[in-house]
Amino acid sequence: MLGFAVLIGFYLLGTVLHSSMHIPLPANVIGLILFTVSLFLKVVKLEWVEEAGAFLIRHMLLFFIPFVVGTMVFFHYIGAHAVMMLASLFGSSVGVLLISGWTVKLIRGRERSNHES
């Protein structure tokens, strides 16, 4: 129970910060960032939330049901624009792969030149 209380607490903290400070990030992302920082700073112990996290991961499939049902509502729109959507998905995936590879190559090159110096 403590794990769920901690997770919900960080979600609510993110919601409060989002609404009061008008941060341009979703409230759940703000809460997740705060939670991650708290874990790294050892403010929150992993043991407190480990069991709740394992439970949520085990039942993750249930959380996708509303998304899939919502997608079915717009199926006629998706079907009409399927080629454009697939091209966009493919193009963006290829772009991410190319940029990631280029970045790794650039960083590796700098590491090698630093070790040789």
Q: How many CB atoms lie within 10 A of CB 10?
A: 21
**Do both 20 and 49 map to the same domain?**
yes
What's the confidence (pLDDT) of residue 27? Answer: 94
What's the confidence (pLDDT) of residue 55? Answer: 95
Q: What is the DSSP string of 13-81?
A: HHHHHHHHH--SS-HHHHHHHHHHHHHHTTSS-HHHHHHHHHHHHHTHHHHHHHHHHHHHHTHHHHHHT
Domain total of the chain = 2
116 to each of 106, 109, 111, how far by Cα in Å? 16, 11, 9
What's the confidence (pLDDT) of residue 117? Answer: 62
**Do both 38 and 73 map to the same domain?**
no
Whether 13 and 27 have beta carbons less than 8 Å apart is answered as: no
- Note down the domain range covering 87: 66-117
Enumerate residues 6+ apart whose C-beta is below 8 A from 75: none
**Do both 35 and 78 map to the same domain?**
no
**Do both 4 and 52 map to the same domain?**
yes
What's the confidence (pLDDT) of residue 91? Answer: 97
**Do both 110 and 72 map to the same domain?**
yes
Whether 75 and 37 have beta carbons less than 8 Å apart is answered as: no
**Do both 11 and 33 map to the same domain?**
yes
**Do both 91 and 116 map to the same domain?**
yes
What's the confidence (pLDDT) of residue 76? Answer: 83
**Do both 88 and 51 map to the same domain?**
no
Domain boundary among 58, 78, 105: 58
**Do both 115 and 75 map to the same domain?**
yes
**Do both 75 and 53 map to the same domain?**
no
Domain boundary among 41, 58, 75: 58
Task: Average pLDDT across each block of 10 residues of the chain; the chain has 117 residues. List them in order.
Answer: 94 96 93 96 94 93 86 82 92 97 90 71
